[in-house]
């Protein structure tokens, strides 16, 4: 689990709940878009059918959060992520995104971050990810 400056982060209930709510909302609209894509319809999608990912950047008290992608043959650092799963309001699983030839693409790598470590979230225009996989419960 990743977290910058765990000894200096003093989460307030308001900040943590607000960021958690935002992450849960992003997660829900992405999963709704994926389900609609699978079912071939979009009755109430927040994201159009051609998109299933809302890329985000995250800031902590130490600055922009970044992770290393281990793509062969070399490592790359990225500060763009896709919300994969929000676990309560404790942690968030983030899929690492990379910029390749000016386009944002999903990787197969994830990182877990404590929500209390997050100070700010920046959202970008939606994209379509091929590497999207989550459990569908009906």
Span 13-25, average pLDDT: 78
Given a cut of 60, is residue 2 above it in pLDDT? no
Residues 6+ apart with CB under 8 A from 98: 69, 71, 76, 78, 80, 104, 105, 107
Predicted structure pTM score: 0.75
Q: What is the pLDDT of residues 31-54, one digit of tens each?
A: 887 766 665 555 555 555 568 899
Q: Is the pLDDT of residue 7 over 70?
A: no
Q: Over pLDDT 70: what percentage of the chain?
A: 68
pLDDT of 32 reads 81
Q: What is the mean pLDDT of residues 85-91?
A: 94
Q: CA torsion angle for 52, 54, 60, 65 (degrees, to 10)?
A: 70
pLDDT recorded at residue 67: 94
Where along the chain do its domains lie? 13-123
pLDDT at site 9:
46
CB 32 within 8 A of CB 43: no
What confidence tens digit (pLDDT) does each residue in 99-127 have? 888 888 888 899 999 999 999 999 999 99
């Amino acid at each position: 689990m990743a977290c910058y400056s765990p000894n200096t982060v003093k989460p307030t209930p308001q900040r943590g709940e607000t960021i958690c709510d935002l992450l849960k909302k992003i997660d829900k609209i992405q999963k709704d878009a994926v389900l609609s894509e699978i079912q071939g319809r979009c009755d109430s999608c927040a994201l159009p059918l051609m998109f299933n990912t809302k890329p985000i950047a995250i800031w902590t008290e130490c600055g922009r959060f970044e992770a290393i992608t281990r793509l062969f043959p070399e490592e790359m650092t990225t500060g763009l992520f896709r919300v994969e799963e929000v676990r309560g309001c404790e942690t968030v699983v983030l899929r690492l995104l990379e910029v390749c030839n000016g386009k944002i693409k999903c990787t197969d790598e994830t990182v877990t971050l404590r929500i209390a470590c997050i100070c700010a979230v920046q959202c970008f225009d939606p994209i379509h990810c091929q590497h999207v996989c989550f459990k569908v419960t009906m």
